[in-house]
């Protein structure tokens, strides 16, 4: 076991959003390290069956805005807080901007307040690469660049969360860390109308439907395997050098969306190919590629899982859980036609 992981055994760790795509993987790792994990999640964008059922994990179903639940949980004196709960993500926030502000803005402020008041030793905030750099930053995206021209309410409120973290760090000395994730993918993410491209492509591929590409397909993303994000988070929660810092957690590699679609169609045996649909108005980034120099330097972060391997693990997970995934995928009835209609709005 790496030395920095020594901080986790026996610690009480709160993970908000612990039922979600990244949170469920994080909680499994934390429990494996011997931490006492409390999950707070309202299951608004995740499934009960995805919550790891392991000794050492306590699942509390509830809203981060629910002060009764927060008081009860902070009475247990968590020492480390991973704040991953969020109103997810861009299109959802365009459709429901006030809910986005409540959860991502007020929810984050509440978590920071309770953490500060109860002496939490480390607060790790799940920030977002797409929320800080806007669409005109030079590539690779570096932490010093900040854009004030963001293209969705989600991007605005995820940045707001970072700003609140900075206030609590500077004013109260709360030890915050702000890793900025890029396009996480992997086992644990259930497809749905507001979910990311990889689980949705796999889902449609397995159902034998054409994959809708919202743009030219030449767009690139920095797809990061969830296992690498978890490694970065565990470092963020443990290492002194991370305190007060923001840094990208990414793969440092670009993949074209059209290549992704072709790989997934091949891997799922989908003969229906691809279908081009109109770009979404908020989707202003033609390329995403992050520099991971700062994370390397500060916390020794190094992505380990090659894209092909990560994709294979994800497809294997889909096959293993297919009945549950198919029953839970949150799309309107008549799924792909409804989604395509939605995407062209």
Ligand X SMILES: NC(=O)c1ccc[n+]([C@@H]2O[C@H](COP(=O)([O-])OP(=O)(O)OC[C@H]3O[C@@H](n4cnc5c(N)ncnc54)[C@H](O)[C@@H]3O)[C@@H](O)[C@H]2O)c1
Contact 78, 13 (CB under 8 A): yes
Active site residue 154: yes
**Cβ closest to ligand X, residue 46 vs residue 268:** 46
Binding-site size for ligand X (CB under 6 A) equals 31
Stretch that binds ligand X, among 60-68, 115-123, 201-209, 287-295 (CB under 6 A): 60-68
Shortest distance (Å) from residue 100 CB to ligand X: 10
Angle between helices 257-268 and 197-206 (to 10 degrees): 30
Do the strands 127-128 and 224-225 form a parallel or antiparallel pair, or are they unpaired? Answer: unpaired
Q: Binding to ligand X by residue 21, rule CB under 6 A?
A: yes
Measured distance CA(211)–CA(320) in Å, rounded = 22
Say whether residue 321 binds ligand X (CB under 6 A): no
Assess 23 for contact with ligand X (CB under 6 A): yes
Indicate whether 22 belongs to the interface with ligand X (CB under 6 A).
yes
Closest by CA to 212, choosing from 193, 190, 231, is 193
What track of x and - describes contact with ligand X for positions 127 through 166 (by CB under 6 A)?
A: -x-----------------------------x--------
8 A C-beta contact, residue 108 and residue 125: yes
Identified binder of ligand X from the candidate list 41, 219, 231, 283, rule CB under 6 A: 41
Nearer to ligand X, 150 or 210 (CB): 150
CA–CA dist 183, 336 (Å, integer): 22
Q: Angle, nearest 10°, between helix axes 67-74 and 108-117?
A: 30
In angstroms, the CA 22 to CA 85 distance is 10
CA distance linking residue 181 with residue 127, whole number of Å = 6
Q: Which of 88, 225, 247, 318 binds ligand X (CB under 6 A)?
A: 88
What are the residue numbers of the active site?
154
Binding site for ligand X (CB under 6 A): 16-17, 19-23, 40-46, 63-65, 84-88, 103, 107, 126, 128, 158, 181, 183-184, 196
């Amino acid at each position: 076991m790496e030395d920095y992981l020594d901080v986790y055994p026996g610690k009480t760790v709160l993970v908000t959003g612990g039922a979600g795509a990244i949170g469920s993987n994080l909680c499994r790792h934390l429990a494996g390290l011997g931490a006492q994990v409390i999950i707070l999640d309202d299951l608004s964008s995740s499934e009960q069956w995805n919550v790891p059922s392991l000794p050492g994990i306590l699942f509390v179903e509830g809203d981060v805005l629910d002060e009764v639940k927060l008081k009860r949980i902070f009475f247990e004196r968590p020492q480390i807080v991973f704040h991953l709960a969020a109103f997810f993500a861009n299109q959802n926030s365009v459709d429901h901007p006030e809910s986005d502000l409540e959860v991502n803005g007020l929810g984050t402020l509440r978590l920071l307040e309770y953490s500060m008041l109860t002496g939490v030793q480390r607060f790790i905030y799940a920030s977002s690469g797409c929320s800080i750099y806007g669409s005109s930053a030079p590539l690779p995206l570096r932490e010093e660049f900040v854009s004030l021209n963001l293209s969705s309410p989600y991007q605005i409120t995820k940045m707001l969360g970072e700003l609140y973290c900075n206030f609590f760090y500077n004013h109260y000395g709360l030890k915050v860390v702000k890793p900025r994730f890029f396009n996480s993918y992997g086992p644990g993410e259930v497809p749905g109308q507001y979910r990311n491209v990889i689980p949705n492509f796999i889902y449609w591929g397995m159902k034998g439907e054409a994959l809708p590409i919202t743009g030219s397909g030449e767009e690139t993303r920095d797809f990061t395997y969830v296992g690498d994000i978890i490694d970065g988070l565990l470092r963020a929660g443990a290492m002194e050098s991370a305190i007060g810092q923001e840094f990208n957690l990414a793969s440092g590699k670009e993949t074209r969306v059209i290549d992704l679609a072709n790989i997934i169609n091949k891997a799922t045996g989908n003969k229906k190919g691809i279908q081009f649909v109109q770009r979404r108005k908020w989707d202003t980034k033609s390329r995403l590629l992050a520099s991971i120099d700062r994370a390397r330097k500060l916390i020794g972060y190094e992505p380990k899982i090659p894209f092909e391997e990560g994709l294979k693990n994800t497809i294997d997970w889909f096959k293993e859980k297919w009945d549950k995934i198919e029953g839970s995928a949150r799309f309107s009835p008549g799924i792909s036609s409804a989604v395509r209609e939605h995407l062209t709005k």
